[in-house]
Amino acid sequence: MTFDECLAGYLSRLKAAGYATATIRQKRIYIGRLLEYLQAQSVTDPKAVTREELGQYFSYLRTGYTNSRGRPLSDKSYLNNITDVAQFFRWLEKTNRILLNPAANPPRVPNITRLPEILTETEAIRLLESCSPNTPTGLRDRAILEVFYSTGIRVSELCNLTIHDLNLNIGELRVNRGKNKKDRIVPLGEVACDFLELYIYEARPKLAPPNQSILFVSKNGLKFHSTTLSHLIINYGRKTGLKTGISPHGLRHTCATHLLKGKADIRHIQQILGHESINTTQRYTKVEITDLKHVLKRCHPRERKEIETDDF
């Protein structure tokens, strides 16, 4: 089989397994980048790829590759490239398309746990209040921001919400068609419920056609694309004049961090965010301990002043 046929088969398997469209697209780009490199080296048979050639490719990514803007790969992108390539060759070996796996021992990369920018509580309120509720789109945007901050759901999950996923009477939201196709119920805060009710009864009828079931729609009454919705949030962050950029992913992490600061149990946060593993949720404890260190330095008497040697 050719590389292209192997890649098509691999991506089809991922789709059948329920992987998100964005994840599959990323893997297509990263593995396709490798295939272009190998073809430039006149390597077209998956069975002919050697460990040395993969090592040279990984070195090229680290020191010689630049993107369309002339920038090198970030640490996270480099790690993702290595991971996706290794998984691809593992699948080729498992399905007997190759005899030996040249990516069995990929380069070791330090574990990258960098989180996106997280807003303070004051900054979060400023962002929410930057939407004017005096227009249908402004009221829609305020409801979107309130849902993001209240629930911490993923941008793809919010785009897929339907009017039937919402229960304002008991303050619950059914989040479905998200990662791994698993549904979960998350609580909605009272303020989020208030703005959702206003949006549904006052703004949405002016934006959505009668047969549209998607909850949040564009000004044309259509379902949002996740990229469009991300840009919408980013633009409100710029409008608010926040020192740091903000995105739907940043609001997700902000929600989790503020819940942790409010002493929410980490397993409850795990359920709200829809994390498969508690280890993913525990990343936020690192943010919390950093804040505690700042509090110690600011408030503890042994940190607030220099030691006076005259006392000895």
Q: Which residues are catalytic?
A: 154, 179, 249, 252, 275, 284
**DSSP assignment of the chain:** --HHHHHHHHHHHHHHTT--HHHHHHHHHHHHHHHHHHHHTT---GGG--HHHHHHHHHHHHHT---TTS-PPPHHHHHHHHHHHHHHHHHHHHTTS-SS-TTSSPPP-PPP-PPPP---HHHHHHHHTTS-TTSHHHHHHHHHHHHHHHH---HHHHHH-BGGGEETTTTEEEE-S-GGG--EEEE--HHHHHHHHHIIIIIHHHHS-TT--BSSB-TTS-BPPHHHHHHHHHHHHHHHT-SS---HHHHHHHHHHHHHHTT--HHHHHHHHT-SSHHHHTHHHHHHHHHHHHHHHHH-HHHHS---GGG-
